[in-house]
Amino acid sequence: MKGLQVAFGVNLRRFRTHLHMTQAQLAERIGRSTDLISRIERGEASPSFETIEQLTVVLGVPVHALFGGPVEMEAGAEARTEIERLLAGMSPADISWLAELARIAAARPR
């Protein structure tokens, strides 16, 4: 069991750092302590099912990616995280403008 716990922690750290997210930022996003994230990454603690589910949503990876070998990030996960971060500091008018731009981009032929 310890091997799986360590692998989970290694993968968690890899996906978190790929998104340029600190342990504190990840902890805040999932409503857990920074200490817990640190202990999970070091293989010293096992996350609950609820925590695992929250991690997959925030990191944009499937559950098996946290337990298994190398898996590519979900397409666009990094960009979506960056967009969320940028939106937090924008005015409602700027957000509306970006929403219109996104609608135009989505309507383009592929």
Looking at residue 49, its pLDDT comes to 96
Looking at residue 71, its pLDDT comes to 47
Residues 90, 82: Cα–Cα separation, whole Å: 13
Residues 95, 81: Cα–Cα separation, whole Å: 16
Residues 107, 110: Cα–Cα separation, whole Å: 9
Mean pLDDT to the nearest integer, 5-31: 93
Residue with tokens 């098996």: 64
Q: What is the pLDDT of residues 22-79, one digit of tens each?
A: 999 999 999 999 999 999 999 999 999 999 999 999 998 888 889 875 545 556 666 7
> Exposed e or buried b for every residue in 56-94, given b needs 16+ CB within 10 A?
bebbbbeeebbeeeeeebeeebeeebeeeeeeeeeeeee
